[in-house]
Amino acid sequence: MPLEKQVSSVTRKVLLIIVEGQTEQIVLEDYLDEHFANSTIRFDVQREDILTKWDANKRIPNIKNSVTRVIQNYLQKYKFLAKDLTAVVHITDADGCFIDPEFVKVKEDIEQKLYYTEDSILVKNEKRKEQIEQRNEMKANNAKILVANDHFSIQRLRIPYQLFYFSTNLEHVLWNERNEIATEKVQKADEFMDNLSSSIEEFLKDYLPVNAELPYKEKMKMSWSFLMEGCNSLQRGTNVPLLFEMIKSDVQ
């Protein structure tokens, strides 16, 4: 399937999904297209984490402005208007960002510059430790802002918005590897989907850290509260199953 569908074929409201990498699109796109046919699903692959991106002057940008810019750039590039959007969904990796600084530890003999474990982030030296602590603080603060934000004003319209997460990252949730080699992620995502015996929705439900019977808004709130506690942002979990629930209720 081509990564981008032809704009001329879009006849329905668009659900825009902002993701960090191509693997999220590989894992989710076919299922969403098949099971939510009343919606036009479009992915915007950033190939970076906008929650941890410094601006050109090494200043921390306003995260709401950054997300607004991403949405506006997408609309401009693919000739959409804000009125074409039904909602914007944003998926991020937790990356252990909510752990206390004491759990970022120096271990000089690790092979990678950065290594995630069940209860810590290991780095090679003190300088790298300081960098990761700054990254975590920045990402945690930005995530809190976006979680509390339920819409963006685009072209004078209120566009519903929701942030979801994989923890520690997508690879950790799917095949239990926190420290996957970057160049192998796409191939392994393809292999994972080829070998998956259930639907991706059913698979991910096993890693939802809250009671699935609760109301949607309560589950969203609790899923983020859980992630922000202790070392939970290093644990294997996701609230992406709630994305499917959101689409069923709001988009169909």
Model pLDDT for residues 176-185, shown as the tens digit of each residue: 999 999 999 9
| Residue 1 banded pLDDT, cuts 50, 70, 90 | very low
* Mean pLDDT of all residues in 195-199: 97
Q: Tens digit of pLDDT for each residue in 3-31? A: 444 444 445 789 999 999 999 999 999 99
Residue 106 has a CB neighbour count (10 Å cut-off) of 13
- For 62, 80, 84, 216, 245, the CA distances from 92, given in Å and listed in that order, are 17, 24, 24, 19, 18
pLDDT reading at 2 higher than 60: no
The pLDDT value given to residue 9: 46
Q: Which of 179, 166, 170 is nearest to 122 (CA)?
A: 179
DSSP 55: -
Residue 148 — φ and ψ, nearest 5°? -80, -5
* Mean pLDDT of all residues in 180-195: 96
Query: What span, in angstroms and rounded, lies between the C-alpha atoms of 197 and 203?
Result: 9
The pLDDT value given to residue 39: 83
The pLDDT mean for the chain works out to: 92
Query: What span, in angstroms and rounded, lies between the C-alpha atoms of 129 and 103?
Result: 10
| Residue 252 banded pLDDT, cuts 50, 70, 90 | very low
The pLDDT value given to residue 7: 44
The pLDDT value given to residue 107: 96
Residues shown for the chain: 252
Q: Which of 110, 145, 104 is nearest to 126 (CA)?
A: 104
The pLDDT value given to residue 65: 94
Looking only at the bridges linking them, the beta strands covering 151-154 and 157-167 are: antiparallel
Q: Are 119 and 234 in contact (CB under 8 A)?
A: yes
pTM for this entry: 0.93
Residue 223 has a CB neighbour count (10 Å cut-off) of 24
